[in-house]
Amino acid sequence: MSYNFDQNLSFGDDRPLTGLRSLKHPFVVIAHCAFRGAAIVFYVFANILSLSFIIQFLVLLALLSADFWTVKNVTGRLLVGLRWWNFVDSEGKNHWKFESAKVDPSRFDIFEIRIFWGALVVAPVFWTFLVIVAFFTFKWEWMIVALMGDLMNLANLYGYLRCKWNNTQELTNYLTKYAFLSMLTRQSQQPTTSNIQTA
């Protein structure tokens, strides 16, 4: 069965409202942030919520899996028009696909785009911090759990960066251009001092 990638799917009420419901996909935005936040919050407070490490591990695995699947299959497509996936051909070879919707960019809400990329970048930073904390406090089992969360979040981040830029050269060019423009902006904002000669 073939699905049209560019087809517009609508979740939630389409009436013009204010606040969070004014977004084009309010429930998708909530899901995008909620699973990521819930996994991190549960990791931090797991010892208070449950005494069994096995239960804590299973809950975290369920939250991380739900987050990974939601971001990979739903939120990326609806919020920014990107999708990555893989398939195995008849010869048993893995093929990775990185796709970008060929539609008018104005179809996507700028606020939703910022939320998507912000959550996509911030979550791996939190998980990396938690891995470092677990390492230096000698909590090896928790370090493995945090490392699992970090790897799942980094996989989604890498997949979507590859969707946005077809190859590493395009990404490098973008980062170089961004750094150059930032430097120019910073220099143009510095106050110029004029040498006043006094007689």
Report domain extents, the chain.
19-171
pLDDT digits (tens, 9 = 90+) for 94-126: 888 888 888 776 788 889 999 999 999 999 999
Q: Model confidence over 58-100: pLDDT tens digits? A: 999 999 999 999 999 999 999 999 999 888 888 888 888 888 8
Burial of 197 (0-12, 13-18, 19+ CB in 10 A): exposed
pLDDT at 107: 83
By percentage, how much of the chain surpasses pLDDT 70?
77
Whether the Cβ atoms of residue 57 and residue 48 lie closer than 8 Å to each other: no
Task: Decide if 1 contacts 9 (C-beta within 8 A).
Answer: no
Quote the CA–CA distance of 198 and 196 in Å, as a whole number.
Answer: 6
Does 172 have pLDDT greater than 80? no
Residue reference for tokens 């493995």: 144
